[in-house]
Amino acid sequence: MTETIWINGQELLLTVPSDRVVAERVLRHIQRRIDEDDWSPYTCKADALRAWSRLGGIRVQVLKALNLI
């Protein structure tokens, strides 16, 4: 069964129901970083986004939904 969640008008497909909690946590984390302009331990936003995009999975889906990558 596939779950979905909408972020920034984009639908994210989640493979298991528990992924919804993970996606919401990732969204809050990234939104806080944006709001506070805090990219530590990275030196800048670009470095943080580059590192996070390498992790793949739900994090990348959230970054794409927020038009960050």
Nearby residues of 26 by Cβ (< 8 Å), 6 or more positions away: 58, 59, 62
Q: What is the pLDDT along the chain (69 residues), one digit of tens a residue?
A: 678 899 999 999 888 888 999 999 999 999 999 999 999 999 999 999 999 999 988 999 999 999 999
The Cα–Cα gap between 48 and 53 comes to: 8
Helix extents (H) in 1-69: 19-36, 45-55, 57-65
pLDDT confidence of residue 55: 92
How far is 58 from 29, CA to CA, in rounded Å?
13
- Rounded to two decimals, the pTM is 0.86
51: which 2 tokens?
Answer: 């590192």
